[in-house]
Amino acid sequence: MSKTAAIIGGGVIGGGWAARFLLNGWDVQVFDPDPQAERKIGEVIANARRALPGLTDVALPPEGKLSYHATIAEAVQGAQWVQESVPEQLKIKQATLADIQSACDAEAVIGSSTSGFKPSELQQGATRPEQIMVAHPFNPVYLLPLVELVAPEAAPELIDKAKAVLTSLGMYPLHLKKEIDAHVADRLLEAVWREALWLVKDGIATTEEIDDSIRYGFGIRWAQMGLFETYRVAGGEAGMKHFMAQFGPALKWPWTKLMDVPEFTDELVDLIAGQSDAQSGMHGIRDLERIRDNNLVVMMRGLKAQNWGAGALLNAQEHEMRKGTVHGALAADLPADALVETAHRTVPLDWTDYNGHMTESRYLHAFADATDRFMEIIGCNAEYISKGGSYFTAETHIRHVDEVHAGVVITIRTRVIMGEGKKMHLWHEMYDGDRLLATGEHFLLHVSLETRKPSPAAPHIEAALVRFAKGHAGLPTPEGLGRAIGAPR
């Protein structure tokens, strides 16, 4: 059964929602009366296509179908999820939600992207108030995982459904049990924003200096550990109690102006706008979006390698994406006489070099990941390795056949040239569709992790290797096998 999402309102946030659903395999039906909607949403989706697939080491599902509709009633037909992202005016949102409910499935989730209104305000006059919930994302929606989910009156099964959908999209549903104006994250941002406005108005710091204080300091800490855990660490061995005892009294000092807001005079607006233009005006908005996306992808992939924060969320998504695919299979599930698909992924933005194509080290990275996946297939998994057995690479030869660019979906297929006793000789072929990109020849030895010396593999691993080696022996010999560097093709 196809999955369909309706996007009502296609601005920056609505376009981001459309991209998040579309690139995760959902059909997306859009309503937006703006005559420029298709162009604007298309540009957002283009940025998403460039950035989102590179977050994971498993290829996203085939892209869904995108369509635009003349009315809300047409757009919501058959949708399991309806996301409202119209302007932040309560009457407009209430009228839009009424139009949605008059035509959508009664079982559909209706989420509002509102950054400030409570669900009880959105639900006033609604036919089915319990169907409407706040699903407040963060820009760019196609990359940042957080969604504040607020629905105190919703049935538990509808909340569970909403959580399941968002999780399947690689997002993190933060279920808030009580409603409050501006939810949680925006209230925290508002506090920082108020203080920043005063610092600029009073001439203490420029917009650039304030941004630098965040991006070179606490912003990095917050990205991976949040607020309270950061302060817990700051408390040293004594923990949070010590931190609060040490810095708690400062809360009574007149350091901040959180309950006071500077008047938004023309002078203040011009001052901030002028400083902001001087800070980043040399970049167009699309350039800044791509710079932002590049940085977010690299940071989140760094957290992914540590299995922490947003990175742990990506690893969990990949685990689910592998289920039911060849990437979740074991040796006995695969035919012995066919190449084994050991990777199917998108080349991320940070894998390219100054020439604009995949850097040398990333070819080895991709082939090493394919080797690791093949090891899992034959039973040399984390459990086996924890008991003291593994494979070490002794020799590698990579042939760079064609260029690979960021965003290309690569597939690696693996054959066993030899596999018995202590030895494993693998041949990897990397493709973009039918286009051969590179080959990797790898010779590995099974070792004891206690002695760090070669040792025979466990019988079940050797049996799986021998099975593939015999099956692959009947395949045509690959071009380049055993080739020395510099030898003619």
Right CATH number for 4-181 from 3.30.200.20, 3.20.10.10, 2.60.40.1180, 3.40.50.720? 3.40.50.720
The annotation status of 9 as a binding-site residue, yes or no, is yes
Higher pLDDT, 155 or 436: 436
Domain boundaries in the chain?
4-181, 186-282, 324-473
Are 186 and 174 contacting, i.e. CB atoms less than 8 angstroms apart?
A: no
| Residue 157 phi, psi (nearest 5) | -70, -30
Taking only the tens place, the pLDDT of each residue in 329-361 is: 777 889 999 999 999 999 998 899 989 899 999
Q: Determine which of 33-37, 432-436, 457-461, 484-488 has the lowest per-residue pLDDT on average.
A: 484-488
This prediction has a pTM of: 0.86
pLDDT value of residue 246:
79
Taking only the tens place, the pLDDT of each residue in 379-427 is: 999 999 999 999 999 999 999 999 999 999 999 999 999 998 999 999 9
Give the number of other Cβ atoms within 10 Å of residue 295's Cβ.
13
**Whether pLDDT at 327 is above 70:** no
Average predicted confidence (pLDDT) for the chain: 92
Taking only the tens place, the pLDDT of each residue in 75-132 is: 999 999 999 999 999 999 999 999 999 999 999 999 999 999 999 999 999 999 999 9
Pinpoint the alpha helices (H) of 139-184. Answer: 156-168
Are 108 and 76 contacting, i.e. CB atoms less than 8 angstroms apart?
A: yes
The annotation status of 486 as a binding-site residue, yes or no, is no
What are the angstrom distances between the C-alpha of 170 and each of 81, 153, 446? 16, 25, 36
Taking only the tens place, the pLDDT of each residue in 213-255 is: 999 899 998 988 898 888 888 888 888 887 778 777 766 776 6
Instruction: Give buried/exposed letters for 316-340 (b at 16+ CB in 10 A, else e).
Output: ebbeebbeeeebeeebeebebeebb
Q: Can you tell me the distance from the alpha carbon of 405 to that of 356, in angstroms, rounded to the nearest whole number?
A: 7
| Residue 112 phi, psi (nearest 5) | -110, 135
Average pLDDT over residues 138-156: 94
Nearest to 72 by CA among 62, 85, 63, 60: 85
The annotation status of 13 as a binding-site residue, yes or no, is yes
**Whether pLDDT at 328 is above 80:** no
Average pLDDT over residues 54-75: 95
Average pLDDT over residues 34-44: 96
The annotation status of 11 as a binding-site residue, yes or no, is yes
Q: What is the 3-state secondary structure (H, E, C) of 251-289?
A: HHCCCCCCCCCCCCCHHHHHHHHHHHHHHHCCCCHHHHH
The annotation status of 14 as a binding-site residue, yes or no, is yes
Give Cα 11 to chain centroid, integer Å: 21
Query: Which architecture, in CATH terms, is 186-282?
Result: Orthogonal Bundle (1.10)
324-473, CATH topology level: Thiol Ester Dehydrase; Chain A (3.10.129)
